[in-house]
Structure 1
Amino acid sequence: MPRTLAPQPLTAEAFAPYGEVLEAAGDFRLINDGWCQRHHDRAGLDFGPDGRAGISVFHARPRTLPYRFDLIERHPDGSQAFLPMTQHPFLVIVADGPGAVPRAFLTSGAQGINLRRGTWHGVLTPLEAPGLFAVVDRIGSTANLEEYRDPEGWTVLAP
């Protein structure tokens, strides 16, 4: 019997156990002579004792729904923020650990995410091209990746 997930809209409340939703919503202060809303300090970045913040650009090939996956990963030494450079929705998969039932979220196209240090998650999954993302994560001299392959895998259904 196939194991399936129905993606749910990404909300700050639903995503809270895994990290923060990054979006221009809620409280703000006006800056730049009133022409810009600053939605301040939206994510807790954590790079461990031996790391530093780095900004990279990822260019990922888009996937389609339904989407089958069996790989999740985590970064035990640092948080990881994904900021889309286009306004296209992308799929976010998170899990409480290897073997746990994952959760699938669909962004609005105007949201990014910050995954807490050690959060199990799926790979970057844009749903439209170009899959361009600015990624803020840990840069350090030690390995910061653990992977788990589920022997049965999961399928995320189209909404």
Structure 2
Amino acid sequence: MHSLKAEPLTATAFAPFGDVLDASGDFRLINAGLCKRHHDRARLEVGEARAGISIFNAEPRALPYSFDLIERHPEGSQAFIPMTEHPFLVIVAEDPSAKPRAFLTNGAQGINLHRGTWHGVLAPLHAPGIFAVVDRIGPTPNLEEYRYPQAWTVSA
């Protein structure tokens, strides 16, 4: 079995795979100065389709976490926005032959995976695992899966 150590999710470390969605960095005040707007945090890619918002309710996982499945969406980006304040695990890879990386969110971060990014399945670490998911809605297939011949285990 292969092993990975989860690293903290930062915008710099995650940049090759997607965008970190959080309330940090530049902002402008709106709503009579009572709200900070962190504007245009991710680029949505949907090709000739449309963007849609779905709600996912995933079973929680625990660390150490073992996985052998990654997937990608070649036709569009995919954003995961937690609807609770719990951390979740994000697994990504440059391609199926590359060593995957594991990131641990801080409980106040979401992610937007770039179009075509190989990634693990949604892995909340606490119940409820409820997420708003923004991705491509269209008539053509947008999912490719890969199973590793040997599982990987992620530790904290």
TM-score class, shorter: over 0.9
Deviations along 1:125-158, one digit per CA (max 9) or x if unpaired, are 000000000000000001100000001010001x
Give the equivalent residue in structure 1 for 2:6: 7
Please report the TM-score for the alignment, with normalisation by the length of structure 1. 0.97
Following the alignment from structure 1 to structure 2, what is the Cα–Cα distance between the partners of residues 115 and 62? 20
Following the alignment from structure 1 to structure 2, what is the Cα–Cα distance between the partners of residues 34 and 90? 32
Say how many residue pairs are matched.
156
For 1:45-56, list aligned pairs within 5 A.
45-49=44-48, 51-56=49-54
Give the equivalent residue in structure 2 for 1:38: 37
What 5-or-longer segments of structure 1 have no aligned partner? none
Which one of 112, 117, 125 corresponds to residue 119 of structure 1?
Answer: 117
Following the alignment from structure 2 to structure 1, what is the Cα–Cα distance between the partners of residues 66 and 18? 23
SS at match of 1:86: coil
The one-letter code sitting in structure 1 at the alignment partner of 2:136 is R
What 5-or-longer segments of structure 2 have no aligned partner? none
The one-letter code sitting in structure 2 at the alignment partner of 1:135 is V
SS at match of 1:13: helix
Percent identical: 72
Following the alignment from structure 2 to structure 1, what is the Cα–Cα distance between the partners of residues 61 and 131? 15
Following the alignment from structure 1 to structure 2, what is the Cα–Cα distance between the partners of residues 66 and 99? 22
Runs of 4+ in 1 over 2 A off after TM superposition: none
Give the equivalent residue in structure 2 for 1:129: 127
For 1:70-89, list aligned pairs within 5 A.
70-89=68-87
Deviations along 1:24-59, one digit per CA (max 9) or x if unpaired, are 00100000000000000000000012x100000000
Which one of 59, 76, 92 corresponds to residue 57 of structure 2?
Answer: 59
Superposed CA RMSD = 0.5
SS at match of 1:83: strand
